[in-house]
Amino acid sequence: MNTTAPPRRSLRDFYEDPAVPVASGTPRSLRQARMLAGALGTAGTAARTVLDIGCGDGTAAATAAPLLTGHRIVGVDWSQDALKRARSRLPYAVRGELTGSGLPFKDASVDAVLFSEVVEHLVDPDSALDEIRRILRPGGHLMLSTPNLAAWYNRGLLLAGVQPVFSEVSLRAIHGRPGREVVGHLRLYTARALREFVAAAGFEVVRLEGAPFHGVPRPLRALDRLACARPSLASILLLHARKT
């Protein structure tokens, strides 16, 4: 009988692993980009600076770029492996952290932040929003997306005693819930909790929408799209907020 314990693995080790997914779905990246494009308007004579914080492999920012023509998009991530891939898709990609030494940008120097599928991975999301607020100009835009703990199917799973989709109890394997991929979720939000959390960090919530999840089984995808009409039931929460 082998009683050797698995090797210890830190969060940094987990996110530097090339096998860990670092891209969100294209449809919700487009939805988020459209929301931001509507908020920023045309570039005109002055390009706006947009950070994609937690850019992963750069797919989301590259998807958004055609809708943000004339604006400057910069990818930011702490994973060197992710940044190598992002630099093949983005003209600018830099290393930065939301805690510790912080982001390599001056106070009030950024016009908008894309924050796609990141907050659920953070040990200290409060400090992360503080850092985002620091670098945003007054009135600057935050476009945040995250899985919904209270998604329509998660409500049924909990009633059946099953661990909700998106929630994880281990970085090594899936336990007690549907799915095969470990993605490192540490925090989960309902629509109400997300609104309150962002408002408490000094932002005005402008809009909250729902988006579908690409991992929903095909026979249920039509129902998942219908659920988007009520963000509190949707798979993914898309929030637009402004720095007050």
Rounded CA gap, 110 and 51, in Å? 7
204: Cα separation from own chain's centroid = 19
Amino acid code (one letter) for 200: A
Q: CA quadruple 26, 28, 29, 34: dihedral positive or negative?
A: positive
pTM (2 d.p.): 0.89
pLDDT of residue 24: 58
Per DSSP, 148 falls in state: B
Per DSSP, 4 falls in state: P
Rounded CA gap, 145 and 197, in Å? 13
pLDDT of residue 6: 56
CB 52 within 8 A of CB 92: no
Per-residue pLDDT of the chain (244 residues; tens, 9 = 90+): 555 555 565 666 665 665 555 555 677 888 899 999 999 887 666 789 999 999 999 998 999 999 998 899 999 999 999 999 999 999 999 999 998 778 999 999 999 999 999 999 999 999 999 999 999 999 999 999 999 999 999 999 999 999 999 999 999 999 999 988 898 999 999 999 999 999 999 999 999 999 999 889 999 999 999 999 999 999 999 999 999 9
List, edge to edge, every strand of the sheet that includes 93-95: 93-95, 72-77, 49-53, 110-116, 136-147, 236-243, 203-211
Per DSSP, 199 falls in state: H
Residues paired with 205 in a beta bridge = 241
- For residue 11, give the nearest of 161, 182, 184 by alpha carbon: 184
Rounded CA gap, 167 and 176, in Å? 10
Rounded CA gap, 48 and 68, in Å? 9
